[in-house]
Amino acid sequence: MNKPKLISLAMQGILLFIFLFSGKVIAQTALIKEAKAKLVFSKDSIERVNTLNRVGFLYHEKDIDSCFSYGMKAKILAGKIHYAKGIADADNVLAISLGLRGLYKESLELFNTALKSYRQQADTSNIAQVLMNMALTYNLVGDTTKEKLFYLEAMTTAGRTKQDSILSLVYLNYAISNSEAFLEDSVRYYLDKSQAIAQRYNDDRILISVSLERAYLLMNTDKHEEALLLIQRALDKSRNDGVEYLEMNILGQLGVYYKNDPDSALKYYSLTYKLIEEKGYTSFKTMALQGILEKTELIGNKDSIIKANQLMTAALAEENENLKKFIGDYIKYNVIQEDNRLLEASNSNKQTKIWFLIALCSICSLLAVFIYRQYRVSRNLHKTVSEQNNHLREALVALEQSQADNTRIMKIVAHDLRNPIGAMISIAYLLVEDKDRSENDKKMLELLKTAGENSLELVDDLLRIHTRVEELKKEPVDLYQLLHYCVELLHFNAEKKMQQINLRAKQITLEVNREKMWRVVSNLIGNAIKFSPKGSVISVTMEKKANEVIISVKDQGIGIPDEMKDKLFNMFTEARRTGTAGEKSFGLGLAISKQIVEAHGGNIWYESTPGEGATFFVELPS
C-alpha cells in the first residue's frame, strides 16, 4: 500500500518520540514557552539539565537547529556535574536532530551511546525508547533486518516496564514503519494492540495517530467516506487538545485526500502552511509549499503560481541558512567534545605534571647557578653557555609541542574509530547468537567480529606507539593458514571492485606474533585492492628460502611514483593518495607494518613501476 508522500514524511515527526509527556495534553508551543520560562529561574544544575533536554526535544519538530543547540548545552552542563542520566538524555536529543538532518550513521552512534548508559542505570523505559528509535532509524536507511531486530527487542523490553504505556508507541511505530511490507490484517493487529494500551492510559496522541493510520488503510481500499470521517474526528480532537503537529499532519492528509479536487486540496495545504507559519514549524515548510505549488499549477492561476514559487524560494533559502547554522553548531559540538576529553586527560595527569614542573624548575635553578659561576670565570664562556641554554629551552618547547600534537591526533583516532568499530562488534555479537542463522552467516559474522576486534587493537597500538615499545609474544603460526584467512576476509572488498585475489603458498610454520603479522598482510592486501582498478588480479605468494621466508603481494594498480619512495614507510607521512574508487588513505598502515616486521627481525620493501603496479615483499627469518 502506498502512502501519500507528504503525509509519510510529516509522520516521521510523530514517530520520533523519545520522552513520554505525562499528564494532560498541552500545545507544543505552550510547552516550549513554559519550559524556557523555567530555565530563567532554575538554579539547581540537575534540574537545569533536565529542562534543557526537555526544551531540546520539544524543538525537534519546530526547529532542528534549536533542538541540537539545547541538546549540546545540556550535554556540556551534564558533563561538568557528571550527571549520567542527563548525558544520556542529551545524547538522545542530539541523535534525534542528527537523524532529522539525515546524518543516520552519527545518529545511530549517539543512540547506541545512550543505550549503553541507560542499561548501566537500569532505566528500562528509556532503554525501550532508544531501541525503538534505533529501529526507526534503520527503517529510514532501509536496513529491514536490523529494524526488525531492534523492534522485537524494544517490544520485549517495553513489556517489562512497570507502566507499559511506551509499548503502545512501539506497536504504533512498528505498524506505521511496516505498513507497506505487512498484510492489512497484520497492520490492524498491531494498531489494535496499540489502541488498547493507549485507551487504558487515556493517551490521546496515540489514539489520534492510530485513527490516522486506520484512515490510510481505508483510503487504500477505496473506502474514502469512512476514511474522511476518521480524519475529521482526528482533526477536531487534535485541535481541541492543542496537539499542533498532529493537526498539521491531518490537514496535510486532507490535502492528499482531495488530490483529485485541486481547489479543496489547495485549501488544506494552505491551512497547513498557515499553521506552520503561526507556530514556527520550519521543518515542514517546504513540504507544505510543495503541495501548494503542485495544486496552484493544476488550477493554472498565474498570480498564485508566482506567489507560491516566491514562498518556496524564500523557504529553501531559509532552510539553507538553517543548514549552515546546523553545520556550524555540529562542528562546534565536536570541538567542545574533543576539548573536554583532552581536559579530562589533562586533569588526570595534573599531579604528575606538577612534580615534573618542580623538577624542571630545580634543574633550571641549578643551571642558573652554574651559568652564574661560569660567568665569573669568563665572559666568552658565559656567552657560549647562554646560547646552549637557549637552544635547550627551544628544543624542550618544540618537544612538548610535538608531544601535545601527537596526543591530540591519537585522541582523534580513538574517537573516530572506536565508536563505529565497537558498534560493529556489538551488532556482530548480537546477530551471531541468533540460533536461526545459517552456519555460513555465523561464519561471516565471526569473521566480522574478529576483524573488528583486531581493528580495535590497532587503535590501541596507535595510542601506545610513542609511549613504549611492545614486547612481541610469539608463537608457532601456520603462515599459509594466516594468508588464507586474510584473503578470505578481504575477498568481499575485492568483489566490490570485481577484482580477483590469487594465493600461491605452501604450509610453513614460523614463530611470529599472529595478530601483528595478520595486520601486516591485511594492510598490504587492502592497499592492493584500494589502489588497483576494477577487474584486476592481485597475487599473494609465499616461499621459503635457506634462512628466511618471503611473502609478496603484487597488484596491477597505479604504482608508486619516485617522489614518494623515501616517505612511504614514515609515520604520519604526507605520501597519501586516494584509491581508484575514491577510498581514503591515512598513511599509517605501512609505517606500522614496518615496525612490526622489523620487531620480528625481518625486512619490508617494495618494487614498483608507476602506472603498472607494485609488489611489496616481507622477509622474515626462519
- Tens-place pLDDT, residues 274-300: 888 887 777 777 787 888 888 888 888
Counting every residue written for the chain, the total comes to 622
Cross-strand partners of 548: 621
The SS3 assignment for 606 reads strand
State how far Cα 270 lies from the chain centre: 37
Model confidence at 349, in pLDDT bands (50, 70, 90)?
low
* pLDDT number for residue 17: 39
d(CA 106, CA 71): 15
**Distances from the Cα of 147 to the Cα of 165, 432, 471, angstroms:** 21, 16, 44
- Alpha helices for 300-378 (secondary structure H): 302-348, 350-377
With a cut of 60, say whether residue 344 has pLDDT above it. Answer: no
Largest distance between two CA atoms of the chain: 109
The mean pLDDT of 46-54, rounded to a whole number, is 90
With a cut of 50, say whether residue 8 has pLDDT above it. Answer: no
Model confidence at 114, in pLDDT bands (50, 70, 90)?
very high
Cell output for 93? 536529543
Cell 498570480 belongs to which residue? 303
* pLDDT number for residue 22: 34
* pLDDT number for residue 394: 79
d(CA 606, CA 589): 14
* pLDDT number for residue 20: 35
Mean pLDDT check: name the lowest of 189-193, 405-409, 444-448. Answer: 405-409
Phi, psi of 478 (to 5 degrees): -75, 105
**More confident position, 463 or 365:** 365
Model confidence at 383, in pLDDT bands (50, 70, 90)?
confident
The mean pLDDT of 300-319, rounded to a whole number, is 74
With a cut of 60, say whether residue 498 has pLDDT above it. Answer: yes
Amino acid occupying residue 216? Y
With a cut of 60, say whether residue 100 has pLDDT above it. Answer: yes
d(CA 591, CA 2): 54
Burial 535-549 (b: 16+ CB within 10 A, else e): ebebbbbbeeeeebb
* pLDDT number for residue 457: 63
- Contact in structure between 322 and 65 (CB atoms under 8 Å): yes
The mean pLDDT of 308-334, rounded to a whole number, is 67
DSSP 531-585: TS-TT-EEEEEEEE-SSEEEEEEE--S----GGGTTTTTSTT-S-----TTS---
d(CA 107, CA 95): 4
- Contact in structure between 527 and 613 (CB atoms under 8 Å): no
* pLDDT number for residue 112: 94
Mean pLDDT check: name the lowest of 242-246, 331-335, 368-372, 425-429. Answer: 331-335
d(CA 284, CA 245): 10
* pLDDT number for residue 347: 60
- Contact in structure between 490 and 458 (CB atoms under 8 Å): no
Phi, psi of 69 (to 5 degrees): -60, -45
Model confidence at 551, in pLDDT bands (50, 70, 90)?
very high
- Kindly give the pairing relationship between strand 613-621 and strand 509-512: unpaired
Taking alpha carbons only, the member of 286, 291, 215 closest to residue 246 is 215
Handedness of CA 282, 287, 290, 291 (dihedral sign): negative
- Alpha helices for 178-203 (secondary structure H): 184-200
Contact residues for 1 (Cβ-Cβ < 8 A; gap 6+): 179, 180, 184, 216, 217, 220
User: Quick one: what percent of the chain has pLDDT higher than 90?
Assistant: 24
Mean pLDDT of the chain: 81
Amino acid occupying residue 531? F
The SS3 assignment for 101 reads coil
With a cut of 70, say whether residue 337 has pLDDT above it. Answer: no
In CATH, the architecture of 475-621 is: 2-Layer Sandwich (3.30)
With a cut of 80, say whether residue 193 has pLDDT above it. Answer: yes
pLDDT in tens, 133-174: 999 999 888 898 999 999 999 999 988 887 778 899 999 999
Model confidence at 24, in pLDDT bands (50, 70, 90)?
very low
The mean pLDDT of 66-72, rounded to a whole number, is 88
262-279 helix and 244-257 helix, angle to the nearest 10 degrees = 160
Q: What is the DSSP letter of 142?
A: T
Q: Where are the domains of the chain?
A: 351-464, 475-621
* pLDDT number for residue 19: 36
* pLDDT number for residue 327: 66
Taking the C-alpha atoms of 154, 159, 161 and 166 in order, what is their torsion angle to the nearest 10 degrees? 60
The mean pLDDT of 98-112, rounded to a whole number, is 89
With a cut of 70, say whether residue 75 has pLDDT above it. Answer: yes
With a cut of 60, say whether residue 355 has pLDDT above it. Answer: yes
* pLDDT number for residue 334: 59
pLDDT in tens, 122-132: 999 899 999 99
Model confidence at 468, in pLDDT bands (50, 70, 90)?
very low
The mean pLDDT of 449-468, rounded to a whole number, is 64
Model confidence at 536, in pLDDT bands (50, 70, 90)?
very high
**More confident position, 553 or 423:** 553
With a cut of 90, say whether residue 99 has pLDDT above it. Answer: no
Tally Cβ neighbours within 10 Å of residue 50. Answer: 21
d(CA 292, CA 295): 5
The SS3 assignment for 249 reads helix
Model confidence at 379, in pLDDT bands (50, 70, 90)?
confident
Cell 543548514 belongs to which residue? 323
Surface-to-core class of residue 234, CB atoms within 10 Å of its CB (0-12 exposed, 13-18 middle, 19+ buried) = buried
Strongest mean pLDDT among 52-61, 378-387, 513-522: 513-522
